[in-house]
Amino acid sequence: MARFVLIHGAFGGGWIWGPLAERLEAAGHEVEAPDLPGMGDDKTPVGEVTLDRYAEAVCGVLDLSEEPSILVANSMGGVVMTEAAARRPDKVSRLVYVAAFMPADGQSLVALTELPEGAGDLVQATVEVSGEPPVGTLPESTLRELNRECDPEVLEWAIEKAGEQPVVPFTESVSLNEEFERIPRSYVICTRDRAIPPPLQRRMVKDRDVTDVVELDTDHHPQLSRTEELANLLDERAGREVVA
């Protein structure tokens, strides 16, 4: 069995992985789903939230185990996962990007959204930014659209749990290395995603030479809308690690 470390995206917290974590644990896997600094129940002040702090938090979770983990990320979490894995390549057996940003060396989340294939990104179009340091919030209408494939009760739960998002990490670039490039990568494209348009997901897959690609006909959060399917996909990839 494998150890999974699940990294949430913007406006979220480790809570968003709850239903998926239950299924992975039922299959015998170990699961960690931490809150990133300043997110969920973590009380890190907004002014201290950076991509570096995000990555170091994930590295801390990786360091708790002697065995390599499978890292899984959704949305903004893909940038965090990428930076953390570059810092701890020996602690990672596979990276799984689930409708997640997948930057190349020197790229930031904002840079990826500015690519032509990023047109139609509902988050960038509707996010309301205020304060110094800046913090973003999403209107309820956007949250509903991003989770439109979820069951009604799950949808209401996700809307209630969603929080503010420090903006600084969006602007900061990842720094990669040769060791990172050797880590096996998988990508789950969500074909009804309104946060990371499918054309952008496919471009990132092509630009980063990812060959293990699966498409799910669902929204931006398959851990909530297609929980069983995603759990099965991850379980299959854990099996590949055991065989290897």
Does the pLDDT of residue 6 top 60, yes or no? yes
For the stretch 68-105, what's the b/e string if a residue is b when 16 or more beta carbons lie within 10 angstroms of its beta carbon? bbbbbbbbbbbbbbbbbbbbbbebbbbbbbbbbbbbee
Share of the chain above pLDDT 70, in %: 98
**Mean pLDDT rounded to a whole number for the chain:** 96
CB atoms within 10 A of CB 161: 15
Task: Return the pLDDT at 242.
Answer: 42
CATH topology (fold) of 3-243: Rossmann fold (3.40.50)
Task: Return the pLDDT at 20.
Answer: 98
Task: Return the pLDDT at 241.
Answer: 53
Task: Return the pLDDT at 244.
Answer: 33
pLDDT in tens, 57-76: 999 999 999 999 999 999 99
Domain ranges of the chain: 3-243
> Tokens in use for 98?
């689930």
Task: Return the pLDDT at 239.
Answer: 84
The C-alpha atoms of residue 75 and residue 100 are separated, in whole angstroms, by 4
Mean pLDDT, range 157-181, rounded to an integer: 97
Does the pLDDT of residue 89 top 60, yes or no? yes
What is the band of 21 on the pLDDT scale with cuts at 50, 70, 90? very high
